[in-house]
Structures are given as C-alpha cells and as structure tokens.
Structure 1
Amino acid sequence: MDFLSSCGGANFFVPYLVKLAVVVVKVVVPLDSLEGLESEVAEHFGRAPYFALVELEGGEARVEFFENPRRLGRPPGAYVAEMGVDYVAIKGGIGVKALALLRERGVKVLEVEGGKLRDVVEALKAGKYREYTGEGCPGRRGP
C-alpha cells in the first residue's frame, strides 16, 4: 500500500518553506563631513577625511561612518578592500593604486552624482550610477 492509499486517497498539501536569499549590497562612499545623510561627498577617494559604509537591503539603507584609515597609517584602498564591500561610489577622482587594489579584490568602482550622501544613497537605490571606466589619478607626494 502506498502513502496516498493509506490516507484514503484524500488530496492534501504538504507545506514547505522556501528560504529566499536576502541580498545585501555594501558600498563605501568618501565624505568631506560627518553630518549623517547630509554629509558632503568628497571629490577624491583617498583624500576624504571620512567614509560611509552603506548597506542596501531591499529598499532599506543602513549607514555607518568611519575615519580615513590613512590617519592610522593604512591606505584607504587596502582598508576598504579588506572590508568585504561590493562597491566604492565616487563622484570625483581615485588614485591609480587604490583603483588597482580595489579592482584586484573584486570591488567595483561606481561613478555617482550628488553633493550629499542622501543623494548618493537615493541614486544607488534607483540604479542611477555607472561603472567607473577611468584609469585613476596619479598620486601626489606630501600631505
């Protein structure tokens, strides 16, 4: 006797759960100021005094801030690449060394428009960005 026959031939449904993958996208944005979502986006990645780590999940965004690790003797490109981020969003320049290191680690660099962090977050959520295709800025010596 098979299973259905033992149940009297009744039709029934077996519920099951499907676990949907939740995609969290991590983006680092260079900043000139620390004013929450009103923070000014920096013109150059490596010279930014601060950074925002933006985690996008669905339609939501979580933001954390941190100082440029260069002040602690760590190049920002290396530090950000080790954070496991997916993207760096810039509106200006990025040095050739930082760009090469990020690309080597699989971090894509995006060009975005907007003067405030809020503008960048909204652009990212709306898909209004393009991949950076430049070769980076030459480095400079000194502070």
Structure 2
Amino acid sequence: MAAAEGAAPGGSPSDIPDDPVLHKLETVVSWVLRIGVVLAVAIVLAGLIMTFLNHPDYSRLTHGVRYQTLTSPHSPFPHTVGQLGRALAAGEGRGVIVLGLVVLLATPVLRVAVGVVGYAIERDWKMTAATAFVLCVLLFSIIFVGR
C-alpha cells in the first residue's frame, strides 16, 4: 500500500513535480489578491466612516436612494480621475470610498501583471505572450472603453 502512494493512475496532482518557481509565483499572486481585497475594504470602510462623521444626517434615509442617483454624472461621487483627486484633496469620504473601489478594480489587473512577470521569469514565452495580451486588453478597456 505504501508503494502506491504518490503514483496514482490518471495523473494525480501527486505525480506533478514540485516546481519551486511555480509555487513562488502562485504565492505572490495569492498575496496580491489578498492584500488588494483587504486594502480595498479598509479604504471603503474608512471612507464610509468619514462620510458619516461629516454628514450624520446620511444615517437617516428619509428619502429613497436609487442606483441611478449614485451613478449619474451629476451625483456627488467622483466619476473622473480629476474629480477623484479633488475629492481626496478636500478630505471627502465619498472620494475615499471611490478610491477603495478603484483599488478593488485594480487588484485583478495587478494579478495579471504579476502573471506576465512570473511567466517571463520562468521563460514560458507562450504564457507570457498570452498573459501580456490579456493585460493589454484589460488596460485598453480601462483607458478607452466607456469614454
């Protein structure tokens, strides 16, 4: 029975050689995702606290709040990088909330960028090219789509 361990038929995970470089890349990717999500949540919570401290009347929702109100170009939330910068410079909680959402959205993009670097270090050129293409598509869509 002991001789059969690690040699299961059908290519079980125990048959795959332990690649320290791949393991390190997976570890880095997992930390990028964890840190990005935790940082985004912390920033959004800080923004919420700032907002409610500066506007205690917001805690009493006496009028209905609609999704269209928050996403309209006329809402008080920043919709451009310039508006975000001004809101952050003014210490507005809603600017901090949007910054947290930007960090959350940037996290998977950073994960793909880490993948490009990792595959390049491994000299896996096909995966480097494929991942770089995905990164280019992501960046293109962030920069140009929705203008």
TM-score, normalised via structure 2 length? 0.23
More helix, by proportion: 2
> Using CA pairs below 8 Å that are at least 6 residues apart, which structure has the higher relative contact order?
2
